[in-house]
Amino acid sequence: MKTTKKAKKNGIRRFFHIIGMIVATLIGIIVLAMAGIYTAHRLSLKSEAPRIENYGKKLSVFDGKMNILDEGKGEGKETIVLLTGYGTASPGLDFTPLVNNLKKDYRVVVIEPFGYGLSSQTKRPRTSDNMVEEIHEVTKQLKLDSFILMGHSISGIYSLNYANMYPEQLKAFVGIDTSTSNQPWPGFNDGVITFVQKAGILRAITKLSPEASQVKSLDAKTNEQIRLLTMKNGGNDAVRNEGQELKASFELANKQTFPKNLPVLLFVVKDDSEVAGWLELHQKQVEHLDKGKVIELTGTHYLHHTQSERIGEEVREFMK
């Protein structure tokens, strides 16, 4: 009887010992795999750096250099200043289809904030007020006294702030599926995002499914440059700090509205399932304006990738 009980205890101990060894082995494999992915990522970043091609021009802004793309200059042309969505690796390249359409009739200036595209890092906190001040400094250096402000995604929040701080500069605002001040804010998970990007997991995912990250309306060379900049800029300090400041940026926007006399045209993804009442949130933004319009378009959040022609047509019509 005692021998049987002892044998059972020994069997249980052996079972848990084996389980422990299996778990330890799996953890070891995962750690080694992660170390390999991280090392490969760091080596790739070093080898890829010389392959990143320059575009645009750099301006000295406060404590850093901001890269801008300036296209379609011409006598008598109105200017559109184009602002990016959060975390876009290369705004200057990402907006290519839309810039190519608009520059036929407008001067188009794409501003790459600190931490984006070919712009440098900065020690300035990524508050909404600082972001707006930096955009304004760029427009001053380019001698843009009056222009159409156009923004994608989170730039809707910064553009709203800009319209309140420098209303005399703006002829109109055009939003591309822009964030609204009263939309639900899910929060910013800095740890997970940083880990995925810094550890090289994003690179591994991209290698497994390269077509998922490619923009079909861009050529192979441009897509490759965007990939290189995505790897380079992913999880950098400026972009991370901007994400951490977004809660405060939304709180500020909640106290603001577009000036009543500012023409506002908003393009919104049709039947957006991610945010309840997405269309209504944008309609509310323009209901008090002398001239406001909301247009639903079929597509993804990046409407400028697939609907650049329609956006261009509607902007020209709206600005008549």
List helix spans (H) across the chain.
2-48, 91-94, 96-102, 128-141, 155-165, 190-198, 201-208, 220-233, 237-253, 278-286, 303-306, 308-318
Angle of helix 237-253 versus helix 190-198 axis, rounded to 10:
150
pLDDT tens-digit series, residues 231-286: 889 889 999 999 999 999 999 999 999 999 999 999 999 987 788 899 999 999 99
How confident is the model over 173-208, as pLDDT tens digits? Answer: 999 999 998 887 767 777 677 776 777 677 777 777
Phi-psi region of 86 (alpha: psi -120 to 50; beta: other; left: phi over 0): beta
pTM above 0.75, yes or no: yes
CA-to-CA distance for 81 and 89, rounded, in angstroms? 18
Q: What one-letter code names the amino acid at 186? A: P
**49, 98, 168, 170, 176 from 144: Cα distances, Å:** 33, 21, 12, 10, 22
- The number of angstroms, rounded, from the C-alpha of 41 to the middle of its chain's C-alpha atoms is 22
> In whole angstroms, how far apart are CA 76 and each of 28, 79, 106, 216?
66, 9, 9, 33
Q: What is the amino acid identity at position 140? A: K
Give the pLDDT band (50/70/90) at residue 4: low
C-alpha closest to that of 86 among 265, 263, 230, 239: 239
Q: Is the pLDDT of residue 13 over 80?
A: no
